[in-house]
Amino acid sequence: MAVNKGIRQFFFPSLTPAFLIRAGCIAFVAYLVFGHLLAPFRIKGHSMEPTYQNGEFNFCWRFRYLFSKPKRGDVVVIRFTGQRITLLKRVVALEKEEVEFRNGRLLINGKELDEPYIHYPYNWSLSARQVEPNSVYVVGDNRSGPMQNHFFGQASLPRILGGPLW
Amino acid sequence: MVNPVRNISKPLNPTGIGLKYNPASAAGPGSAPEGLLPRREGLWPGGSSGIISNGVKVKYVLIALILIAIGTGVSLTLFQSEEKRVKKQFHLLSEGVSREPGENIFTMDQKIKKMGSLFDETCELKIPAYSLSGLLTRDEITGYATRGRLHFTQLHLKFYDFNIAFTQEGGAGVHLTARLTGKTTTGENVEEAHELDCLLKRIEKRWLFDRIEVVEVLKK
């Protein structure tokens, strides 16, 4: 009987002031954590394969770049539009660096970048361009499709929300 | 000399409910202590229930509040705020662009005409993804829209995340998200979202699109 009562109490707790305060505290902490610190997101698309698969679930660690700037090779979450639509891309070049794609090779300041995370061959070609100040150059890991269908380029630093938790 | 005694509680307190009014307690703490001041019964005109201190009945106050609420509701409905008027233009644009399967020519013509009326005589369009940039006339815009719609069997345009700021020049700068979903004539599903920067101008009491720019988040 005592067990039944305990179960009943767990699923249907009495709305006492103490319970309401506890529930309110939990809701507030959840709002802070999942709204501002670890924003949950689901990956939709194949542009970061094989590192991140379509449909995967992850969290955006918002304080990742609070005291530092993104480094080359970092995967970052970029605010695309509004507060809900974001992009997951890899930083390949930093501000004032020169980026160029030449027959499926990525050149930074004229030197080929070693990219162990690229598993699918690609044949992109894009003339050299300099990354603007306060920006980074981001590209997806899966460059097997045509360049026109891929979202990549310079993203301003204020648009970078953080990095994926794993 | 004998002062005439008048029973004042009756005419002013028709319900006959006796009222114990204590000015000391009414004045709040710090005033004369209870007991020092004489208790007067029935001297306060608002002594009966349903009457407020100045003699106004509660029901009149309630009626006034209801009338104010109704008036506010009616005025908000009839006289929309400028922000709502601006949002309405986006809603109309969304209706004009959207297309349902099996849409007939008459409906399409109506929608295009309606959409054209939302734009200023000339409107600056900047869509870097489609290499479209420049000052276009109303007819050119509707022409583009007509041709664009023909590529789809189903098309929906929705606007979210409105951020409206009114400029000193009498314009309305709107920053928002546009989400386009649909199906092309070849059966391909389309789902796009873009950040837009728009400027609307108030011309003859109507907000008309003067500039639409798709924000380029990643510059190649």
**CA B185 vs CA B99, B111, B129, B220: distances in Å:** 12, 20, 21, 29
Could you tell me if B70 and B90 lie in one domain?
Answer: no
The answer to whether residues B106 and B138 belong to one domain is yes
Per-residue exposure over A109-138, b if at least 16 CB sit within 10 Å of its own CB, e if not = eeeeeeeeebeeebebeeeebebeeebbbb
Same domain assignment for residues B30 and B74: yes
Among A81, A151, A155, the residue with its CB nearest the CB of B195 is: A81
Closest CA to A126 of A92, A156, A76: A92
Grouping H, G, I as helix, E, B as strand and the rest as coil, residue B123 is: strand
User: How confident is residue B55, by pLDDT bands cut at 50, 70 and 90?
Assistant: low
Same domain, B64 and B142: no
For chain B, the domain total comes to 2
User: Across the interface, which of B177, B195, B218 has its CB nearest the CB of A155?
Assistant: B218
B160, B195, B218 ranked by CB distance to A151: nearest: B218
Poorest-confidence range of B39-48, B83-92, B107-116, B158-167?
A: B39-48
In a domain, residue B2? The reply is no
On whether the CB atoms of residues A136 and A91 are closer than 8 A, the answer is yes
Among candidate residues B85, B63, B65, the one with its CA nearest the CA of residue B73: B65
**Is residue A139 scored above 90 in pLDDT?**
yes
Confidence of residue A12 (pLDDT cuts 50, 70, 90): confident
pLDDT at B76: 76
- State whether B194 and A78 contact (CB < 8 Å): no
pLDDT on residue B47: 45
Q: Are residues B161 and B96 in the same domain?
A: yes
Say whether residue A85 is in contact with chain B using an 8 A CB cutoff: yes
Interface pTM, i.e. ipTM: 0.79
Looking at CA atoms only, how far is residue A83 from chain B in angstroms?
Answer: 8
For B13-53, what is each residue's pLDDT tens digit?
444 444 444 444 444 444 444 444 444 444 444 444 555 55
Work out the pLDDT band at A72, boundaries 50, 70, 90: very high
DSSP string, chain A: -HHHHHHHHHHS----HHHHHHHHHHHHHHHHIIIIIEEEEE--SSTTTTTS-TT-EEEEETTTTSSS---TT-EEEEEEETTTEEEEEEEEE-TT-EEEE-SS-EEETTEEPP-TT--S-----EEEEEPPTTEEEEE-S---S-GGGS--EEEEGGGEEEEE--
**How high does pLDDT run on average in chain A?**
92
B103 and B52 together in one domain: no
Q: Is the pLDDT of residue A128 over 50?
A: yes
The whole-angstrom distance between B102's CA and the closest CA on chain A is 29
Q: Does residue B220 belong to any structural domain of this protein?
A: no
Contact B47, B17 (CB under 8 A): yes
Same domain, B73 and B166: no
Provide the whole-model pTM: 0.72
Which residues in chain A are closer than 8 Å to B218, comparing Cβ atoms? Answer: 78, 87, 138, 151-155
Q: Is the pLDDT of residue A121 over 70?
A: yes
Among the ranges given (A65-74, A101-110, B78-87, B115-124), the one the predictor scored with the smallest mean pLDDT: B78-87
Mean pLDDT of chain B: 78
Q: Which domain holds residue B61?
A: 9-78
A48 touches chain B (CB under 8 A): no
* Model confidence band, residue B212 (pLDDT cutoffs 50, 70, 90): very high
- CA separation, residue B96 to residues A82, B90, B164 (Å): 23, 10, 22
